Amino acid sequence: MPQPRLLLIDDEPALAEYLANAARSCGFDPIVTERAEDFRAIFLKQKPEMVALDLGMPVDGVELTRFLADHDYRGPVLIVSGFDRRVLESAFRLGEALGLNMAGPVEKPVRLEDLEELLAKLKATLVP
């Protein structure tokens, strides 16, 4: 069975690689981008089984949340950010209100064990 694709957007290369490695160890095939245009193009072409959004980028993660909702995305949407917890929770609620399958939110810096545990749980919910 092919590994589920995880499309990840983060403008911090070191953190993006950290998240991608955690995803790989949990059996995902991570696709990493740091630009919103690339995220949209890859999303439309590859239809990932899961996405992970960083809220604190030049292009707001909230904008990408709306993009996912506009495309009736059904996979888990994991929010990862260094923002204040209230900002994370409000983005999470927005995603839920838009009908997305929200996961997390995960605050940076995130412990590898916690991230892998969450990714493993989310992977188990994916329909093959």
Q: What is the pLDDT of residues 99-122, one digit of tens each?
A: 999 997 888 788 888 899 999 999
**pLDDT band at 128, cuts 50/70/90?**
low
Q: Are the beta carbons of 82 and 108 closer than 8 angstroms?
A: yes
Alpha carbon distance 128, 124 (integer Å): 10
Secondary element (H or E) of residue 122 = helix 112-125
User: 5-118: which CATH number, 1.10.510.10, 3.40.50.300, 3.20.20.70, 3.40.50.2300?
Assistant: 3.40.50.2300
Q: Are the beta carbons of 8 and 20 closer than 8 angstroms?
A: yes
